């Protein structure tokens, strides 16, 4: 009998793949079949595959340039999840898209606005020349969190927005599994960018429009973390509404709050 589930590959075999992707994909195993997991090294790939085989017994282990090429050439794999270091995700996603694969890429989308603008231009070129119209999607979950979805539905009752405030106090310390993540420590923006994208995605989803201008100052207080670890910014939305976004990466009393005045 022909396989009716969508066969996918995962590029990446780190903490997030092992602790989140594999368990979540197992919950929809009636729809999705993980056919292959790839990593730069055989050891890393095999570690993730050993976990995945509890749910996907026939998952294949791929590594290195040869393994990547095998995934790209495999026509039975129409879609790939890219769960790699932030420095390499965009290039890998574009390579897969050019091969006609649909791509779900982890955040941050890119290291800078310049990089993502160039990547989007390349993607649009791919779409113009590809009959398959490969989809490039960002795996940002806050857009689908029940609290944000409910919040957005309630905003219509408030009236016109006058101000927006988002204040985040994170808890990044040595007890966090991502504290020693090398790519995050060598990534421009550090944990501010890695963690902050969630709350900006939630903000954009709630207000229903884009941010048009930003003015920000940053500082570095916790020397155990890469700089910067604090950001304070003022922004304006395209509807004219002003707002404030403040984030502290490491706080003794972690919390997050958003407020809209209308």
What percentage of the chain exceeds 90 in pLDDT? 71
Determine which helix (DSSP H) or strand (DSSP E) holds 184, and give its type and residue range: helix 182-185
Would you say residue 3 has pLDDT above 80?
Answer: no
Q: Please, what is the end-to-end C-alpha distance for the chain in angstroms?
A: 58
Query: Same domain, yes or no, for 70 and 194?
Result: no
- The number of helix segments (H) and strand segments (E) in the chain equals 9, 11
Query: Same domain, yes or no, for 12 and 66?
Result: yes
Would you say residue 163 has pLDDT above 70?
Answer: yes
Contact between 245 and 193 under an 8 Å Cβ cutoff? The reply is no
- Domain ends where: 95, 120, 138? 138
Query: Same domain, yes or no, for 77 and 188?
Result: no
pLDDT of residue 159: 75
pLDDT of residue 1: 47
- Rounded to the nearest integer, the mean pLDDT of the chain is 92
pLDDT of residue 2: 55
243 pLDDT band (50/70/90 cuts)? very high
Contact between 228 and 191 under an 8 Å Cβ cutoff? The reply is no
The encoded tokens of residue 33 equal 């079949």
Nearest 5°: the CA angle 238, 240, 241 is 105
Which residues are 36's β-sheet partners?
9, 60
pLDDT of residue 183: 85
- Domain ends where: 123, 138, 153? 138
Range 5-40 burial, b when 16+ CB lie within 10 A, else e: eeebbbbbbbebbbeebbeebeeeeeebbbbbbbbb
Each residue's pLDDT tens digit, 85-119 = 988 999 999 999 999 999 999 998 888 889 999 99
Contact between 198 and 142 under an 8 Å Cβ cutoff? The reply is yes
pLDDT (average), residues 48-61: 97
pLDDT of residue 15: 94
CATH number of the domain at 74, please. 3.40.50.720
Q: Which residues contact 64 (CB under 8 A, 6 or more apart)?
A: 40, 41, 42
pLDDT (average), residues 167-187: 89
Domain carrying residue 79:
6-138
Would you say residue 262 has pLDDT above 90?
Answer: no
Report how far residue 153's alpha carbon sits from residue 161's, in angstroms, rounded to the nearest whole number. 14
Report how far residue 23's alpha carbon sits from residue 155's, in angstroms, rounded to the nearest whole number. 34
pLDDT of residue 253: 82
Contact between 169 and 253 under an 8 Å Cβ cutoff? The reply is yes
Query: Same domain, yes or no, for 73 and 90?
Result: yes
What percentage of the chain exceeds 70 in pLDDT? 98
Each residue's pLDDT tens digit, 5-32 = 999 999 999 999 999 999 999 999 999 9
């Amino acid at each position: 009998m022909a396989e009716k589930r969508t066969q996918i590959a995962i590029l990446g075999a780190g903490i997030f793949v092992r602790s989140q992707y594999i368990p979540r994909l197992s919950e929809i195993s009636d729809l999705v079949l993980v056919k292959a997991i790839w990593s730069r090294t055989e050891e890393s790939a095999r570690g993730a595959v050993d976990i995945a085989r509890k749910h996907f017994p026939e998952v294949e282990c791929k590594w290195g340039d040869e393994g990547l090429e095998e995934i790209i050439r495999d026509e039975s794999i129409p879609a790939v999840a890219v769960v790699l270091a932030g420095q390499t995700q965009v290039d890998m996603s574009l390579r897969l898209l050019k091969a006609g694969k649909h791509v779900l890429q982890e955040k941050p989308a890119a290291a800078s606005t310049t990089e993502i603008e160039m990547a989007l231009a390349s993607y649009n070129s791919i779409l113009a020349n590809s009959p398959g119209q490969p989809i490039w999607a960002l795996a940002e979950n806050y857009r689908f969190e029940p609290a944000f979805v409910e919040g957005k539905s309630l905003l219509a009752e408030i009236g016109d927005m006058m101000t927006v405030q988002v204040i985040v106090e994170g808890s990044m310390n040595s007890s966090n599994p991502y504290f020693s993540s090398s790519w995050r420590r060598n990534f421009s923006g550090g944990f501010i960018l890695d963690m902050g994208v969630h709350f900006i995605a939630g903000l954009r989803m709630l207000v229903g429009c884009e941010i048009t201008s930003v003015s920000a100052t940053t500082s570095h207080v916790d020397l155990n973390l890469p700089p910067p670890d604090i950001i304070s910014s003022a922004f304006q939305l395209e509807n004219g509404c002003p707002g404030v976004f403040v984030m502290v990466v490491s706080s003794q009393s972690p919390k997050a709050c958003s407020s809209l005045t209308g």
